[in-house]
Amino acid sequence: MTMATDTKNAFLTDVKILREKARQSLDNGAVVPTYQGDVQTAIDLLQAVLATEIVCVLRYTMHSIAVEGLTSESVGKEFQEHAASERKHMLGAANRIDQLGGVPNFNPEGLATRSATEYGNGGNLVEMVKQDLVAERIVIEHYQELIRYFGDKDPTTRILLEGFLADEEDHATDLHDLLVAHEGKPFLS
């Protein structure tokens, strides 16, 4: 009995058909005919995610070095941890672009215009934390939109971005907690 004739699994394609289809269009790599998204649009959106994550790595790295003051060592370590997390996101987005047949754009020219977030301008410790919290809030909303866009059309990209989103929400909470600890009151209502 093949899967296609089994009434419990009638929605599944027969394994023989899957095997034959897999042998066709080998030049498409991981993008199979059942991919429901628009490949070029997915690549373009992921290029923006890549640029955003590169900017975040750079900003957090700069902040980890530039911090000064009584709590600078602990906050600097927090910034370093966030930079490492953003680097993982950067590599994840780049790898997904590659899986879809694109070439990840690491070119620094135009990076700021491709990114959803801004690099920032440093400042004192509180200003840096606020810049990073604003950036995280932008990315959270942006990734929520992208997750809804990809939905079931591209579950691999959606799941990747859901992981990024969870990390970004964690970063935002960490930054908010730093502000509350410093200012003694919630920064956000």
Q: Tell me the pLDDT tens digit for each residue of 120-163.
A: 887 888 899 999 999 999 999 999 999 999 999 999 999 999 99
Q: Which of 167, 172, 112 is nearest to 136 (CA)?
A: 172
Nearest to 166 by CA among 62, 92, 93, 85: 85
Lowest mean pLDDT among 25-39, 66-80, 88-102, 118-132: 25-39
Does residue 171 have a known ligand-binding role?
A: yes
136 is in an annotated binding site: yes
Answer yes or no: is pLDDT of 100 > 70: yes
- Report how far apart, in Å, the C-alpha atoms of 76 and of each of 60, 64, 114 are: 9, 4, 27
Nearest to 156 by CA among 18, 49, 36: 36
Domains of the chain by range and CATH? 37-183 (1.20.1260.10)
> Is 20 labelled a binding residue?
no
182 is in an annotated binding site: no
